[in-house]
Structure 1
Amino acid sequence: MRRKYNNVRVDLLKMCTKYIPKGFYADGKQYEIKEIVEVKKGFIRCGSPGLRYLVITDKKNAELLFDNRTKQWTAIIFDPPKEEKKAREEILEDLKYLN
Protein backbone atom coordinates (compact mmCIF):
# COMPACT_ATOMS: atom_id res chain seq x y z
CA MET A 1 0.00 0.00 0.00
CA ARG A 2 1.20 3.50 -0.71
CA ARG A 3 0.30 6.89 0.70
CA LYS A 4 0.79 10.19 -1.08
CA TYR A 5 1.43 13.48 0.74
CA ASN A 6 1.51 16.78 -1.13
CA ASN A 7 3.55 19.83 -0.14
CA VAL A 8 5.78 18.08 2.41
CA ARG A 9 8.62 19.88 4.17
CA VAL A 10 12.06 18.57 3.17
CA ASP A 11 15.35 19.21 5.00
CA LEU A 12 18.15 19.76 2.50
CA LEU A 13 21.89 19.26 2.87
CA LYS A 14 24.30 21.31 0.74
CA MET A 15 27.15 19.33 -0.81
CA CYS A 16 29.45 21.41 -3.04
CA THR A 17 26.96 23.27 -5.26
CA LYS A 18 24.09 20.75 -5.02
CA TYR A 19 21.34 20.31 -2.45
CA ILE A 20 20.24 16.80 -1.52
CA PRO A 21 17.39 15.76 0.81
CA LYS A 22 18.36 14.41 4.24
CA GLY A 23 14.90 14.12 5.82
CA PHE A 24 11.26 15.08 5.39
CA TYR A 25 8.07 15.63 7.39
CA ALA A 26 4.84 13.94 6.33
CA ASP A 27 1.66 13.10 8.24
CA GLY A 28 3.05 14.73 11.40
CA LYS A 29 6.09 12.42 11.47
CA GLN A 30 9.72 13.05 10.69
CA TYR A 31 11.43 10.58 8.36
CA GLU A 32 15.22 10.49 8.28
CA ILE A 33 16.71 9.35 4.98
CA LYS A 34 19.19 6.51 5.43
CA GLU A 35 20.03 5.93 1.77
CA ILE A 36 19.24 7.51 -1.59
CA VAL A 37 18.84 4.60 -3.98
CA GLU A 38 18.22 6.42 -7.25
CA VAL A 39 17.76 9.92 -8.67
CA LYS A 40 15.88 10.42 -11.93
CA LYS A 41 15.35 13.58 -13.95
CA GLY A 42 12.24 13.84 -16.07
CA PHE A 43 8.52 14.35 -15.89
CA ILE A 44 6.95 13.62 -12.52
CA ARG A 45 3.43 14.51 -13.59
CA CYS A 46 1.76 15.13 -16.89
CA GLY A 47 4.03 17.78 -18.44
CA SER A 48 5.72 18.80 -15.16
CA PRO A 49 9.51 18.48 -15.20
CA GLY A 50 11.24 17.61 -11.96
CA LEU A 51 13.36 15.22 -9.92
CA ARG A 52 12.40 11.83 -8.49
CA TYR A 53 14.36 10.49 -5.51
CA LEU A 54 13.93 6.83 -4.48
CA VAL A 55 14.95 6.71 -0.81
CA ILE A 56 15.08 4.34 2.14
CA THR A 57 13.97 5.91 5.43
CA ASP A 58 14.11 4.58 8.98
CA LYS A 59 11.33 2.04 8.51
CA LYS A 60 9.86 2.41 5.03
CA ASN A 61 10.71 3.00 1.39
CA ALA A 62 9.64 6.29 -0.14
CA GLU A 63 9.75 8.46 -3.23
CA LEU A 64 10.36 12.19 -3.06
CA LEU A 65 9.17 14.16 -6.07
CA PHE A 66 10.30 17.76 -6.69
CA ASP A 67 8.20 19.74 -9.15
CA ASN A 68 10.32 22.39 -10.94
CA ARG A 69 7.30 24.47 -11.93
CA THR A 70 5.60 24.85 -8.56
CA LYS A 71 8.78 24.32 -6.47
CA GLN A 72 6.95 21.87 -4.20
CA TRP A 73 7.82 18.45 -2.81
CA THR A 74 5.53 15.42 -2.84
CA ALA A 75 6.22 12.26 -0.82
CA ILE A 76 4.95 8.78 -1.65
CA ILE A 77 5.50 6.38 1.25
CA PHE A 78 5.28 2.64 0.66
CA ASP A 79 4.20 0.43 3.55
CA PRO A 80 6.17 -2.82 3.90
CA PRO A 81 4.30 -5.97 2.82
CA LYS A 82 2.40 -7.92 5.47
CA GLU A 83 4.89 -10.79 5.25
CA GLU A 84 7.71 -8.51 6.39
CA LYS A 85 5.58 -7.24 9.28
CA LYS A 86 4.86 -10.81 10.38
CA ALA A 87 8.55 -11.70 10.16
CA ARG A 88 9.47 -8.69 12.33
CA GLU A 89 6.83 -9.62 14.90
CA GLU A 90 8.08 -13.22 15.01
CA ILE A 91 11.65 -12.03 15.57
CA LEU A 92 10.51 -9.76 18.41
CA GLU A 93 8.58 -12.62 20.02
CA ASP A 94 11.64 -14.88 19.76
CA LEU A 95 13.80 -12.22 21.38
CA LYS A 96 11.31 -11.84 24.25
CA TYR A 97 11.35 -15.60 24.72
CA LEU A 98 15.16 -15.67 24.87
CA ASN A 99 15.27 -12.92 27.49
Structure 2
Amino acid sequence: MRRKYGNAKVDLVKIKGKYIPCAFHVEKEVFIIEEILSIRKGMVKCGTPGLRYFVKTQGKETELLFDNTEKSWTVIIHDPQVYGETDGPQRVLEDLKYLN
Protein backbone atom coordinates (compact mmCIF):
# COMPACT_ATOMS: atom_id res chain seq x y z
CA MET A 1 0.00 0.00 0.00
CA ARG A 2 1.18 3.52 -0.62
CA ARG A 3 0.22 6.77 1.02
CA LYS A 4 0.59 10.09 -0.79
CA TYR A 5 0.93 13.46 0.95
CA GLY A 6 1.05 16.81 -0.82
CA ASN A 7 2.80 19.97 0.41
CA ALA A 8 5.06 18.18 2.89
CA LYS A 9 7.71 20.17 4.75
CA VAL A 10 11.22 18.91 3.99
CA ASP A 11 14.33 19.82 6.02
CA LEU A 12 17.39 20.34 3.83
CA VAL A 13 21.12 20.19 4.66
CA LYS A 14 23.76 21.93 2.53
CA ILE A 15 26.65 19.58 1.71
CA LYS A 16 29.36 20.66 -0.76
CA GLY A 17 27.15 23.38 -2.21
CA LYS A 18 24.12 21.14 -2.78
CA TYR A 19 20.97 20.92 -0.71
CA ILE A 20 20.06 17.38 0.33
CA PRO A 21 16.92 16.34 2.27
CA CYS A 22 17.58 14.98 5.78
CA ALA A 23 14.03 14.77 7.21
CA PHE A 24 10.42 15.55 6.34
CA HIS A 25 7.23 16.36 8.24
CA VAL A 26 3.88 14.79 7.36
CA GLU A 27 0.71 15.17 9.45
CA LYS A 28 2.58 16.32 12.61
CA GLU A 29 4.95 13.34 12.35
CA VAL A 30 8.69 13.65 11.67
CA PHE A 31 10.44 11.10 9.44
CA ILE A 32 14.26 11.09 9.51
CA ILE A 33 15.91 9.91 6.31
CA GLU A 34 18.19 6.95 7.03
CA GLU A 35 19.55 6.40 3.53
CA ILE A 36 19.24 8.01 0.10
CA LEU A 37 18.86 5.19 -2.41
CA SER A 38 18.86 7.23 -5.64
CA ILE A 39 18.21 10.68 -7.09
CA ARG A 40 16.61 11.17 -10.51
CA LYS A 41 16.02 14.29 -12.52
CA GLY A 42 13.02 14.37 -14.81
CA MET A 43 9.26 14.61 -14.86
CA VAL A 44 7.56 14.49 -11.46
CA LYS A 45 3.97 14.90 -12.58
CA CYS A 46 2.49 14.97 -16.06
CA GLY A 47 4.89 17.28 -17.92
CA THR A 48 6.26 18.93 -14.76
CA PRO A 49 10.05 18.96 -14.34
CA GLY A 50 11.54 18.21 -10.95
CA LEU A 51 13.62 15.92 -8.75
CA ARG A 52 12.71 12.48 -7.45
CA TYR A 53 14.50 11.18 -4.35
CA PHE A 54 14.17 7.50 -3.39
CA VAL A 55 14.96 7.25 0.34
CA LYS A 56 14.58 4.83 3.22
CA THR A 57 12.80 6.02 6.40
CA GLN A 58 11.86 3.85 9.37
CA GLY A 59 12.34 0.71 7.28
CA LYS A 60 9.99 1.91 4.54
CA GLU A 61 10.87 3.00 1.02
CA THR A 62 9.73 6.54 0.34
CA GLU A 63 9.70 8.86 -2.67
CA LEU A 64 10.26 12.59 -2.23
CA LEU A 65 9.11 14.52 -5.30
CA PHE A 66 10.18 18.16 -5.74
CA ASP A 67 8.09 20.11 -8.25
CA ASN A 68 10.23 22.84 -9.89
CA THR A 69 7.30 24.93 -11.12
CA GLU A 70 5.29 25.04 -7.87
CA LYS A 71 8.34 24.71 -5.56
CA SER A 72 6.51 22.13 -3.46
CA TRP A 73 7.26 18.66 -2.10
CA THR A 74 5.11 15.55 -2.43
CA VAL A 75 5.82 12.46 -0.32
CA ILE A 76 4.83 8.91 -1.28
CA ILE A 77 5.39 6.31 1.45
CA HIS A 78 5.37 2.68 0.32
CA ASP A 79 4.33 0.43 3.22
CA PRO A 80 4.51 -3.29 2.37
CA GLN A 81 3.47 -4.35 5.90
CA VAL A 82 -0.06 -2.99 5.55
CA TYR A 83 -2.71 -5.54 4.51
CA GLY A 84 -0.18 -8.38 4.30
CA GLU A 85 1.33 -7.49 0.93
CA THR A 86 4.64 -9.16 1.85
CA ASP A 87 3.13 -12.64 2.17
CA GLY A 88 0.89 -12.23 -0.90
CA PRO A 89 3.06 -14.23 -3.35
CA GLN A 90 3.50 -17.03 -0.79
CA ARG A 91 -0.28 -17.27 -0.37
CA VAL A 92 -0.72 -17.51 -4.15
CA LEU A 93 1.76 -20.40 -4.31
CA GLU A 94 -0.12 -22.25 -1.57
CA ASP A 95 -3.41 -21.75 -3.43
CA LEU A 96 -1.85 -23.13 -6.63
CA LYS A 97 -0.76 -26.29 -4.76
CA TYR A 98 -4.36 -27.05 -3.84
CA LEU A 99 -5.57 -26.51 -7.41
CA ASN A 100 -3.37 -29.35 -8.72
Aligned identity (percent) is 52
Q: What TM-score comes out, normalization by structure 2 length? A: 0.79
In the aligned structure 2, how far is the partner of 1:46 from the partner of 1:66?
A: 13
Q: Deviations over 1:19-62 (max 9, x none)?
A: 00000011221000000001000001111000000000023210
Aligned CA RMSD, in angstroms, stands at 1.5
Gaps of 5+ in 2: 88-100
Match of 1:30 in 2: 30
Q: TM-score, normalised by structure 1?
A: 0.80
Q: Specify the code of the residue in structure 1 equivalent to 2:16.
A: C
In structure 1, the partner of 2:97 is none
Secondary structure in 1 matching 2:58: coil
Which residue does the alignment assign to 1:49? Answer: 49
What stretches of structure 1 move > 4 A for 4+ residues in a row? none
